[in-house]
């Protein structure tokens, strides 16, 4: 327990340093500049917040690629406290981040190139607060969320309801869908809401407003009456669908060309200096951005933590609905702590997810074995990348939810470099159809849709025929459909028994499937695992959302990896 406490204290200390005013000027934001040859313009894309940011991650990456191919350089970035950027999220920080991003784009663009800003979701409100339109930049809103006061209040309300349904009685959360928030965020949004209202109806009204099917709201329909000079489009596109980002970009390109003519190409708008002097780049405390070849000739992208010991590497595997930061940025902080201990790590996105190229699995349907096999191929390419830094590398795979299943499937291809498995709330296909787990899963799914019912957007989708009550009913009652045995147990028993890799399983007490998953993985290994290799964190949900659960998981990951690598080093030296 001493090791657990020290690791938890280390993570907490690093987070407190990020938010301290004395080190505010040293915050680094993760950014990626997609440069166009012979650029004729430049664009900053300001992302949305929270769970919607995961939906838009891939479309935004595709938008940047198409813009660059058409001669428009694009700057993508994660705001403070979000994604792989340092610090805590607050309105003041996010306004400064937008201005600093525009200044960075201006410094890297030819003087006669027009510059634009695209705000997605809550990003539109931050464009208004930064005052970019009044500085001479053309702005475009995509699925704008302008009522940030209601947005964040609903966010906290839904999180509180989720905690009640999961039986958790924790303190106020400091993390929401991958962002660490300042505790005064609710007071901030109430203070800034009047400025958003005044600016959005006045000088900061956008040149173009784009609504996708994802964002059918009454506010958007009223906007046509409020801003007579603003062009409002309705695109029949879902951001989570294939080629969504490409289709949105091709729709925007003609209008962006017309907006560029309206800008004075000979005069660069005099941007304000950033309030906190943040630095934008591809390297932060959460790693260095890298790319490596994947299957089918695509590029896989991720973050590499290059520590002194390249012989010991942890590769993090994200779940179905996320990307390489993991739930509540658990992977980011775990990788930073491992680097502090002297171990390297790699966090990457599967094909078609996050920043990686190619076409991946759809989050709108159930996964099948072919999807998992494709993810396993990506994992093997990531292992080759780790081995390229040191041919004697020992690798631990750390998978979350579906990533845990992918790690188990990788046992069939287990190369000599694989030293251990760390499974966080692992999901085994078919496990929800066994015993009492089916009833727990039904209640969990019912609570999930109960939280969704608090969003007006979902009711609008239902009325518009874009959501189906039948599909919701099928999802709730799916566990009653059969008692099929998970193919994992039979398919991998022999490989698991032969390899005898150390395996750590970490579950949340409120995860409805954890008891059945533990039983099946015991069968997979042929014997009941040692007690200290199965950890159940009290009052934690599937994603370890509470701060206490988050710190505990990070500590368990780091302590386990340290133990595996130290034992492997001692064994090789004998």
Q: What is the pLDDT of residue 183?
A: 62
Q: What is the pLDDT of residue 274?
A: 43
Q: What are the Cα distances from residue 495, in Å, to 182, 277, 415, 418, 491?
A: 47, 53, 12, 13, 8
- Distance CA(446)–CA(512), nearest Å, equals 12
Highest mean pLDDT of the ranges 123-127, 236-240, 360-364, 433-437: 123-127
Q: Mean pLDDT, the chain, as a whole number?
A: 75
Q: Each residue of 55-83: pLDDT tens digit?
A: 888 889 999 999 999 889 999 999 988 88
Q: What is the pLDDT of residue 377?
A: 93
265 vs 474: which has the higher pLDDT: 474
- Report the share of the chain in percent with pLDDT over 70: 65
C-alpha of 136 from chain center: 32
479 vs 316: which has the higher pLDDT: 316
Is the model's pLDDT at 11 over the cut of 60?
A: no
Tell me the H-state helices in 526-546: none
Q: What is the mean pLDDT of residues 196-221?
A: 69
Is the model's pLDDT at 39 over the cut of 80?
A: yes
Lowest-confidence region among 146-150, 202-206, 269-273, 285-289: 269-273
Is the model's pLDDT at 553 over the cut of 90?
A: yes
10 vs 412: which has the higher pLDDT: 412
Is the model's pLDDT at 432 over the cut of 60?
A: no
Helix (H, G, I), strand (E, B) or coil at 290: strand
Q: What are the Cα distances from residue 193, in Å, to 126, 140, 141?
A: 11, 20, 17
Contact indicator for 98, 46 with CB cutoff of 8 Å: yes
430 vs 194: which has the higher pLDDT: 194
239 vs 304: which has the higher pLDDT: 304
User: What Rg, from alpha-carbon coordinates, does the chain have?
Assistant: 24
- Distance CA(271)–CA(29), nearest Å, equals 19
Q: What is the pLDDT of residue 419?
A: 87
Is the model's pLDDT at 556 over the cut of 90?
A: yes
Q: What are the Cα distances from residue 74, in Å, to 62, 278, 299, 324?
A: 11, 19, 19, 21
C-alpha of 66 from chain center: 22
Cβ partners under 8 Å of residue 115, min gap 6: 41, 42, 43, 44, 102, 105, 106, 109, 137, 138, 263, 269
Q: What is the pLDDT of residue 179?
A: 67
Name the band, by pLDDT with cuts 50, 70 and 90, for residue 252: confident
Task: Give the β-pairing of 72-77 and 28-34.
Answer: antiparallel
Overall pTM > 0.85: no
Name the band, by pLDDT with cuts 50, 70 and 90, for residue 250: confident
Is the model's pLDDT at 256 over the cut of 60?
A: yes
Q: What is the pLDDT of residue 426?
A: 82
Is the model's pLDDT at 98 over the cut of 90?
A: yes
Is the model's pLDDT at 312 over the cut of 80?
A: yes
Name the band, by pLDDT with cuts 50, 70 and 90, for residue 208: confident
Q: What is the pLDDT of residue 176?
A: 62
Q: What is the pLDDT of residue 397?
A: 94
Q: What is the pLDDT of residue 47?
A: 92
Lowest-confidence region among 140-144, 373-377, 528-532: 528-532
Name the band, by pLDDT with cuts 50, 70 and 90, for residue 336: very high
Residue 47: closest CA among 138, 115, 114, 142: 142
Highest mean pLDDT of the ranges 14-18, 21-25, 487-491, 559-563: 559-563
């Amino acid at each position: 327990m001493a090791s657990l406490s020290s690791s938890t204290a280390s993570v907490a200390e690093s987070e407190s340093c990020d938010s301290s005013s004395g080190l505010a000027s040293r915050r680094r934001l993760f950014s990626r500049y997609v440069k166009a040859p012979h650029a004729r313009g430049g664009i900053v894309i300001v992302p949305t917040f929270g769970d919607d940011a995961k939906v838009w991650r891939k479309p935004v990456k595709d938008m940047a690629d198409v813009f660059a191919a058409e001669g428009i350089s694009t700057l993508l970035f994660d705001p403070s406290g979000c994604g792989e950027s340092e610090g805590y999220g607050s309105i003041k920080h996010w306004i400064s981040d937008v201005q600093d991003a525009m200044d960075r784009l201006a410094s890297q663009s030819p003087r006669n190139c027009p510059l634009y800003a695209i705000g997605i979701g809550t990003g539109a409100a931050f464009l208004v607060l930064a005052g970019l339109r009044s500085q001479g930049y053309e702005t475009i809103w995509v699925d704008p969320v302008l009522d940030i006061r209601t947005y964040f209040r609903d966010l906290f309300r839904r999180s509180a309801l989720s905690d009640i349904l999961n039986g958790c009685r924790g303190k106020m959360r400091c993390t929401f869908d991958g962002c660490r928030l300042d505790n005064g965020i609710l007071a901030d949004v109430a203070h800034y809401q009047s400025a958003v209202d005044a600016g959005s109806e006045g000088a900061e009204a956008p040149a173009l407003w784009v609504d996708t099917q994802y964002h059918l709201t009454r506010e958007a329909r009223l906007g046509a009456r409020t801003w007579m000079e603003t062009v409002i489009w309705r695109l029949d596109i879902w951001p989570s669908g294939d080629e969504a980002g490409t289709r949105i970009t091709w729709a925007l390109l003609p209008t962006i060309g017309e907006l560029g003519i309206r800008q004075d190409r000979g005069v660069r708008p005099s941007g304000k200096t950033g309030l906190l002097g943040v630095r934008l780049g591809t390297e932060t405390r959460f790693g260095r951005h890298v790319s490596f070849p994947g299957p089918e000739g695509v590029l896989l992208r991720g973050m590499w933590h290059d520590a002194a010991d390249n012989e010991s590497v942890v590769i993090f595997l994200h779940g179905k609905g996320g990307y390489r930061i993991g739930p509540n940025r658990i992977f980011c902080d775990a990788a930073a702590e491992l680097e502090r201990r002297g171990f390297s790590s790699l966090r990457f996105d599967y094909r078609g997810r996050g920043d990686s190229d190619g076409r991946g699995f759809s989050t709108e349907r159930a996964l099948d074995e072919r999807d998992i096999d494709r993810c396993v191929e990506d994992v093997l390419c990531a292992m080759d990348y780790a081995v390229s830094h040191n041919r004697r590398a020992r690798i631990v795979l750390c998978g979350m939810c579906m990533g845990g299943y992918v790690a188990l499937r990788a046992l069939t291809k287990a190369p000599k470099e694989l030293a251990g498995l760390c499974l966080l709330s692992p999901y085994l296909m078919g496990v929800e159809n066994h015993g009492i787990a089916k009833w727990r899963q039904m209640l969990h799914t019912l609570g999930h849709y109960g939280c969704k019912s608090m969003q007006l957007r979902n009711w609008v989708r239902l009325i518009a025929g874009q959501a189906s009550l039948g599909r919701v009913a099928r999802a709730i009652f799916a566990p009653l459909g059969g008692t099929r045995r998970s193919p994992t147990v039979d398919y991998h028993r022999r490989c698991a028994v032969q390899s005898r890799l150390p395996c750590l399983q970490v579950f949340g007490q409120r995860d409805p499937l954890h008891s059945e998953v533990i039983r099946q993985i015991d069968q997979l290994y042929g014997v009941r695992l040692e007690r200290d290799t199965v950890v159940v964190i009290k009052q934690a949900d599937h994603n370890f959302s509470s701060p206490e659960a988050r710190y505990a998981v990070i500590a368990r990951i780091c302590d386990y990896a340290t133990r595996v690598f130290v034992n492997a080093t001692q064994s090789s030296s004998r």
